[in-house]
Amino acid sequence: MRELILPLIVASILFVSPAFQAQADKVYLKNGNVLEGIVQPGGGGTLKVILGGGMSLEVPQEWVSRIERKDAPEPAEVSPAASVPAGAPGITAPPTPQVSPDLAPVAEPASEATEFALEEFRKKEDLRSASRVDLEQELKRVQYQIRLFRTTTLGDISQLQKRQRELQANLYQVRAARQLGPAPPASADPQEALSAAIVRESAVNAAVDRLKRQDVRDQIQSLRQQVRATSKLGERGRFEQRIKELQKQL
């Protein structure tokens, strides 16, 4: 499930401030993307990467190709003159530098990769606003066609099975989004908008995981009721086998 928590589109475009970048490690992923941040041990076979802006991501270790670590910066040396207070005899305090308004830092425009990632997040939110009823009806039609093809062997059902998986995944996204409520308005600042989108994505994926687990529990409960209700040993054996398979998903 962890792969849902880390959208790979974000891994290649998260950017950090120059000060943070100077002490950040580089995590090279096997898909070619690179994360920059402070690397710490994670839980359950993951690495925790602390990114700029106070964010962190957990990356499965099997995704990682290599890590390039930066040494901790050494403390800057202070010259004896720097410790002499201004105003002491024979010491003249340097004038306070004045910064011209024309030289004030200006927020950098969003990069093409950032805009692409934000657009991908917007597409996901549009998908989550789809009608649950329409998706469920299409899923029923696809499942009926799959049963029909299996019965009559009319052709290859791989495309139907692929569509079935897509619809099931979309339904979980819609249900999770309904459970969490609408996404907050996007910030005009690209970095803030991207950070908020990542937080939203993580929350939706966590909700999807909870919904899937609850659905599995409901299926197990239904099968146990069928085991108690049937008197046929063959049916009972099939139900019990299915229960064991479902329990492995929890």
Mind listing the pLDDT tens digit for each residue in 210-219?
A: 999 999 999 8
Considering the domain boundaries, does residue 149 fall inside one? yes
Considering the domain boundaries, does residue 89 fall inside one? no
Q: How far apart are CA 230 and CA 241, in angstroms?
A: 15
Considering the domain boundaries, does residue 47 fall inside one? yes
Residue type at 10 in one-letter notation: V
Considering the domain boundaries, does residue 83 fall inside one? no
DSSP classification of residue 13: T
C-alpha distances (whole Å) from 34 to each of 9, 22, 124 are 11, 15, 23
- Which of 71, 100, 119 is where one domain is finished? 71
Q: How far apart are CA 152 and CA 67, in angstroms?
A: 54
Could you list the residue range(s) of the whole structural domain that residue 1 is in? Answer: 1-71
> Structurally, how many domains does the chain consist of?
2
Is it the case that residue 197 has pLDDT exceeding 50?
A: yes
The model's pTM is: 0.53
Considering the domain boundaries, does residue 228 fall inside one? no
pLDDT digit string, tens, across residues 18-36:
555 567 788 888 877 777 7
Is it the case that residue 193 has pLDDT exceeding 70?
A: yes
pLDDT digit string, tens, across residues 116-125:
888 888 898 9
Asked whether residue 3 falls in the same domain as residue 61, the answer is yes
Considering the domain boundaries, does residue 77 fall inside one? no
Q: State the average pLDDT over residues 66-83.
A: 57
Asked whether residue 118 falls in the same domain as residue 186, the answer is yes
Considering the domain boundaries, does residue 116 fall inside one? yes
pLDDT digit string, tens, across residues 88-143:
454 444 455 454 444 444 445 556 777 888 888 889 899 898 889 999 999 999 98
| E-strand stretches of the chain | 25-29, 34-41, 46-50, 56-60, 64-68
Asked whether residue 61 falls in the same domain as residue 126, the answer is no
Q: Which two tokens stand for residue 62?
A: 């099997």
Question: How many of the other CB atoms lie within 10 Å of CB of 135?
Answer: 19
Residue 54: predicted pLDDT? 58
Asked whether residue 128 falls in the same domain as residue 207, the answer is yes
Considering the domain boundaries, does residue 242 fall inside one? no
C-alpha distances (whole Å) from 99 to each of 94, 102, 105 are 15, 8, 10
